[in-house]
Homo-oligomer: A and B are copies of this chain.
Amino acid sequence: MPNIGEQHANLDQQAYTTIKEMITDRQLLPGEKIPQEKLASELGISRTPLVNALKFLEKEKLVEAKPRRGYYVRLFTPAEMISIFELREVLEGLAARRAAEKISDAQIERLKGFFTGFSAGEAITDTHLYSQQDREFHRFITDIGAMEFLSSILQAYNIISFSYQVLGADGLVRPPDETILEHRAIIDAISRRNATTAEEMMRRHFKRTTAYIKAQLAAEQAEQQRAS
């Protein structure tokens, strides 16, 4: 579900998607100035749709406009990273609640299929696969539970994908052995169509992640203090 010009392939949308990818793929780095003329000609378009795309990305906080000085790729602050997870807590909590209310039998089967590759007692070694399933899992639930506005908020603010900026190389915030139990609890609650518990479990999942990030940031700061 694209979030600006729906489907009709206009150049704004095209530029928007491309630049967004360039930022997520780290082709454009935080702090870097975005060269309008250059990028436009690279994309084979004029400055007009390029600038439109940048204006959208500005609203999503992916770039920063410095008036009369151009657009710069933005770096999220620790406070913002925490905010993103606090928002995901309540928004995905809502999505989980609604998913439990709306889910079909077929979708329950697919939901139960997540994380089956990882057996209960054993330590999880394939963190790459786990990370991938993690994202798909959250997306699956929000796709089912999200109604008007919710999905576009989660997408427009790039909350889901950009949450993954605090992550380790494997693309995970917390170790899989810790999160898999929470994921299973969410799957269980939604499968039983228990809306209240589903929301509760999703929120608990994010609360723990938020706490983890806060602790990590505190540790980092202490480290920096010590180094100076």
Q: Please report A residues at the B interface, Cβ cutoff 8 Å.
A: 3-6, 8, 10, 12, 52, 55-56, 58-59, 61, 65, 67, 77, 79-80, 83-84, 86-87, 89-91, 93-94, 147-150, 152-153, 156-157, 159
Contacts and interface: CB of A to CB of B under 8 A. Distances in A.
A55 B52 contact: yes
Nearest to A159: B149
A47 to B, nearest CB: 11
Given A5-B65, A90-B94, A80 B149 contact: yes
- Main SS at interface, chain A: helix
A45 to B, nearest CB: 16
Contacts of A157: 149, 153
A102 to B, nearest CB: 13
Nearest to A91: B90
A96 to B, nearest CB: 11
Contacts of A87: 91, 94, 149-150, 153
Nearest to A87: B149
22 contacts: A5-B65, A5-B67, A6-B65, A8-B67, A10-B67, A12-B55, A52-B52, A55-B55, A59-B156, A77-B148, A79-B148, A80-B148, A83-B147, A83-B149, A84-B148, A86-B94, A87-B91, A87-B94, A87-B150, A87-B153, A90-B94, A149-B157
